[in-house]
Structure 1
Amino acid sequence: MGAMNSILTFFGFGSSEAVKPETASSNKPKSMAPRPRRSGEMSEIMTLDPQSYADAKEVAASFRMNIPVIVNIAAMSEPDAKRMLDFMIGLKEGLEGHLRRVTPKVYLLSPSHVAVTDNEASEADVSQEML
């Protein structure tokens, strides 16, 4: 390890003083926010039953972390349900994902790296039906 430190110091990347392992680890900033997942790391699907439009934050938070979200808007009032659907369409467009209707009141919002096969309608047709 001494030779490596000498080489790094020579090129201006290291210091001539030895760094203790406990000192180096204590200086690392700890991130409290969850990191977005990479495309190959999908291991879960979030299911949400929002009661009002205020629950849209949960949908967005999961989707931004590249987690597919199943949203059941059946318990929402009609105006809130339409607003939530508009919000999900905005998320889909803004983050380049996919939005599929599973049933008349259940939608699947998935990131672009998640492949969803549907034998019935294409995504473009479904987006037009939702409006």
Structure 2
Amino acid sequence: MSFSNSLKEFFGLGQYDPAVDPYYDDPAYEEAGSTSYSARGYVERDYEQRDYTAAIISVRPRNYNDAKEIGEPFRDGDAVVMDLSAVDKPTAMRLIDFAAGLCFAARGKMHKLSRTGDEHLVFAIVPENARTTVGELERAAHLR
């Protein structure tokens, strides 16, 4: 047998020999009974989610390594106000992307608190069921 024939046989591309298959003449297995399955439905949560007033944590990161100061309070359910004025633009963009990922993963919301042309670049991220107004976030960022 040549190398190419053995390679074809190994991958099942060679000619089929019914004498090699011991189960060729056996009847096909069929299970008696119903094969219909019910679709899985949406499972309701066992507890009632309640809105709560989150603590507002102000953070002024100096570099990307300070991202944990943003992520840990948000993970714990607190709103985080980020003043990104102290970092360069590429680092600020990375921190904004990081915060957007946090919001997406935890179903939170992101707010831009600073206005265009303002000297400060301030964003806030708020957890899913937190009752926190934009005014409260602006006061925590000292913008009001």
Give the shorter-chain TM-score range. Answer: 0.5 to 0.7
1:79: which partner in 2? 90
Gaps of 5+ in 2: 1-48, 116-120, 135-144
CA RMSD of aligned residues (A): 2.2
Higher relative contact order (CA 8 A, sep 6+): 2
- Per the alignment, do residues 55 and 77 of structure 1 end up closer, same or farther by CA in structure 2, a change over 3 Å counting? same
CA distance in 1, matches of 2:131, 2:64: 27
Looking at secondary structure, tell me which structure has more helix per residue. Answer: 1
Which of these two proteins has the greater Rg computed from alpha carbons? 2
TM-score, length basis structure 1: 0.56
Taking the aligned partners of 2:54 and 2:100, their CA distance within structure 1 comes to 24
Residues 21-59 of structure 1 show CA distances to partners (whole Å, capped at 9, x for unaligned) of xxxxxxxxxxxxxxxxx8555452100000011100110
Aligned residues: 82
Q: Distance in 1 between matches of 2:78 and 2:132?
A: 13
Change in CA separation of 1:75 and 1:65 when aligned onto 2, cut-off 3 Å: same
Aligned partner of 2:129 in structure 1 is 113
Find the residue that maps to 1:47 and give its secondary structure.
strand
